[in-house]
A and B are shown apart, each in its own frame.
Chain A
Amino acid sequence: MIGNIILSGIPIGCIYAFVALGFSLIYSSVRLLHLAQGDLIMIGAYTGLLITSFYHIPTVPLLLSALFIVAILASLIERFIYRPIMYSHPSNRIICTLAVGIILRNIITASGSNRPENLPEWVLSGEPLVLGTRLIAPAYYWTIVISAVVMIFLTLFLMRTKVGLAIRATAFNRRLSDLMGINTSFMLTFSFFIGGALAGIGGILAGKVLFLNPGMGFGIGIKGFVGAVIGGWGSLPGAVLGGLVLGLIENWVAGFISSGYKDAITFVILVFFLIFRPQGFLGQKDEARS
């Protein structure tokens, strides 16, 4: 039983981790709580649906296409919607991200109904993996593999490359980075590009592991940021950890208590952490008032 929980909890946790990473990354760069992040995942999933309804392309090109499409969309949103209000009151900016989410969600809803609930068979396909007495569906193990690859790649990129350093510098202090010759304007947009890329990949994964519907983004989004909170807001490893932990806990509740309360437990966890440990597992203590 535990084994099942872990096996189905981790892939879902990976998807949550994608969202959580997106949140943390964007928050670190632009100090913005990007509530439309989950909806970007939804767009990623539907992009996959759209592409696969026309072309039978293998998984990797599909992932890359979704990655780029959502990344570009996110960059455009940043450049033309979020950038002008960059120095507005934080409440304004957050409401704006909500609005963007609504637009994305409802455009998809309004543009059609009666669509398949999953991406086609051949995406993330393969032989089921045999582990002892258990069978792991290909979608699940591919999710784990792809997630791991992306995380490693992202870490290397941020830690080892010049551009990664530039992004981190801009996140730390924009004015100072400007003075150092970094094109901070580009870095801000690029952060959203990466966030969008993560959402694109996460979307394809979600399209196989979860059920597709226009409202899925919001739900996943909430789970994602609860993951980011419990892992440590602003901490990238924390985001991954939090996402995974949340996926596992959720599955455990669904298994042992009831699947109806699966969503409610997310909020309980959130409130618990907000009251007792707002900085999450890996966050800094002074994330409280100042």
Chain B
Amino acid sequence: MRREAEMERRGLRGKLIVSAGVIVLFFLPVLFKSSDYVFHTLNMIAYYTIAVTGLNILLGYTGQISIGHAALFAIGAYTSALLALKFGFSAFLLIPLSGLAAAVVGFFMGAACLRLKEIYLAMGTIGLGGAVEGVIINWDTLTGGSMGLLGIPYLRVGSFVFNTQYRQYFLVYPIMIFLLLVARGIISSRFGRAMMAIREDAIAAASYGIDTTGYKLLAFTLSAFYGGIAGSLFAHSTGILFPDHFSMEVSILLLMMVVIGGRGTISGSIMGAALMTAGFEFLRGLKEFQMVIYGILLVFFILFMPQGIMGSLLMRKDRILLWLGWERK
């Protein structure tokens, strides 16, 4: 009885924090209206967060490895850009369609590989990454090839055009938050549990009624969908697309964000995306050393903190809360 009251109080407290967060996210930025750079960074974080959340569902929760995720990001980006250039669709159409395009590719990819052993998925996704990059570069009549796809229009809803980073912020962040909530919904349901069961022990999972291939396919398709949406938002923000944006390196960076931020946690995706984006900005001067540092960081995390930053924090949640004086033992 008392426990329930306490949980209700905690629930209320949680809701207050969330409301405060929403207020901060939406009204504080008005103060910084003039700083386009800040919003550009914030938006970048959002795109990566969306893509990383998708990848997290696949890797962190279901334990499946996908090494060519940038390919799905690319499919979303180019689909959105080309549809916008040819048909001038509104954002309402472009964004879901790009997500869908990526999801379809993800679905077929998954259907081909997931019935095989795990390493085949790794190989298959590398193949996908390379193939998509190859198509982008070689089919230059469609994609602009190495010269890039130029002049991508801004997203618009009706006659309102999101032509500044500031304006895009108010489109991108609600979408991001919505997608995060959806992800959380999946995770804390039987679907999420089934996925985690597959990660922990696929044989036991199958023995308890979980169609492992089916759920892996679900996870893969979802992660592709998220990647596609992220790609679409990215394309209309930067206005130009180069094959470079979708190389294997980018795929690996996405994996890094999952691992460092915290696999198997939603907040980890945000943390990973934020840290890496900040890292890009600050370490830009170091150029190639940047990647060496990232590589070393990744090895470090896998060896010593495979749960990632948020993962480790959440594991020690009770001790931290105790330390903060918010919980009683």
Whether the complex brings A and B within 8 Å at their CB atoms is answered yes
Interface contact B255-A103, CB-CB below 8 Å: no
What are the interface flags for A197-228 relative to B under an 8 Å C-beta threshold, 1 for contact and 0 otherwise? 00000000000000000000010001001100
Provided the pairs A91-B59, A264-B135, A271-B124 are in contact, do residues A98 and B303 lie with their beta carbons within 8 angstroms? no
A107 within 8 A of B: yes
B239 within 8 A of A: no
Min Cβ gap A277→B in Å is 11
B106 within 8 A of A: no
Q: A218 to B303, alpha carbons, bound, how many Å? A: 23
Interface contact A110-B289, CB-CB below 8 Å: yes
Q: Which residue of A lies closest to B304 (CB)?
A: A84
Q: Which residue of B lies closest to A271 (CB)?
A: B127
Q: A229 to B295, alpha carbons, bound, how many Å? A: 27
Q: A91 to B302, alpha carbons, bound, how many Å? A: 10
Provided the pairs A85-B302, A91-B59, A110-B288 are in contact, do residues A103 and B131 lie with their beta carbons within 8 angstroms? no
- A:71-117 near B, CB below 8 Å: 81, 84-85, 88-92, 94-96, 98-103, 105-107, 109-110
Q: Which residue of B lies closest to A27 (CB)?
A: B119
What are the interface flags for B234-264 relative to A under an 8 Å C-beta threshold, 1 for contact and 0 otherwise? 0000000000000011001001100100000
The interface-forming segment of B60-68, B74-82, B96-104, B181-189 is: B60-68
Provided the pairs A267-B130, A270-B127, A271-B112 are in contact, do residues A288 and B117 lie with their beta carbons within 8 angstroms? yes
Interface contact B131-A267, CB-CB below 8 Å: yes
Of the residues B63, B64, B303, contact of A84 by C-beta under 8 Å: B303
- B:294-321 near A, CB below 8 Å: 294-296, 298-299, 302-303, 306
Provided the pairs A95-B259, A98-B67 are in contact, do residues A266 and B123 lie with their beta carbons within 8 angstroms? no
Interface contact A103-B289, CB-CB below 8 Å: no
Interface contact B131-A106, CB-CB below 8 Å: no
B120 within 8 A of A: yes
What are the interface flags for A10-50 relative to B under an 8 Å C-beta threshold, 1 for contact and 0 otherwise? 00000000000000000100000101000000000000000
A243 within 8 A of B: no
Interface contact A99-B119, CB-CB below 8 Å: no
Q: Which residue of B lies closest to A84 (CB)?
A: B303
Interface contact B302-A218, CB-CB below 8 Å: no
Q: A201 to B259, alpha carbons, bound, how many Å? A: 34
Interface contact B123-A102, CB-CB below 8 Å: no
Provided the pairs A271-B112, A274-B120 are in contact, do residues A99 and B130 lie with their beta carbons within 8 angstroms? no
Interface contact B138-A103, CB-CB below 8 Å: no
B116 within 8 A of A: yes
Most chain A CB within a 10 A radius of its CB, from B126, B137, B287: B126
What are the interface flags for B176-215 relative to A under an 8 Å C-beta threshold, 1 for contact and 0 otherwise? 0000000000000000000000010000000000000100
B117 — which chain A residues lie within 8 A by C-beta? 287-290
Q: A94 to B138, alpha carbons, bound, how many Å? A: 30
- B:36-65 near A, CB below 8 Å: 59, 63-65
Q: A258 to B267, alpha carbons, bound, how many Å? A: 47
Provided the pairs A95-B302, A103-B296 are in contact, do residues A288 and B115 lie with their beta carbons within 8 angstroms? yes
B67 — which chain A residues lie within 8 A by C-beta? 35, 94, 98
Interface contact B299-A81, CB-CB below 8 Å: yes
B283 — which chain A residues lie within 8 A by C-beta? none
Of the residues A103, A263, A278, contact of B120 by C-beta under 8 Å: A278
Interface contact B123-A225, CB-CB below 8 Å: yes
Interface contact A270-B65, CB-CB below 8 Å: no
A260 within 8 A of B: yes
Min Cβ gap B184→A in Å is 22
Q: A267 to B134, alpha carbons, bound, how many Å? A: 9
B135 — which chain A residues lie within 8 A by C-beta? 264
Jot down 22 A-B pairs with beta carbons below 8 A, ordered by A: A35-B126, A81-B299, A89-B63, A92-B306, A94-B122, A96-B299, A96-B303, A98-B67, A99-B252, A102-B291, A102-B298, A107-B292, A110-B289, A218-B248, A260-B137, A264-B130, A264-B131, A266-B130, A267-B131, A274-B116, A274-B123, A289-B116
The 8 closest A-B pairs by CB, nearest first: A110-B288, A103-B295, A102-B295, A99-B298, A267-B131, A264-B134, A106-B291, A91-B65
Known A-B contacts: A91-B64, A98-B67. Give 11 more (CB < 8 A).
Answer: A84-B303, A85-B306, A92-B302, A100-B299, A102-B295, A264-B135, A267-B131, A270-B123, A274-B113, A274-B127, A288-B115
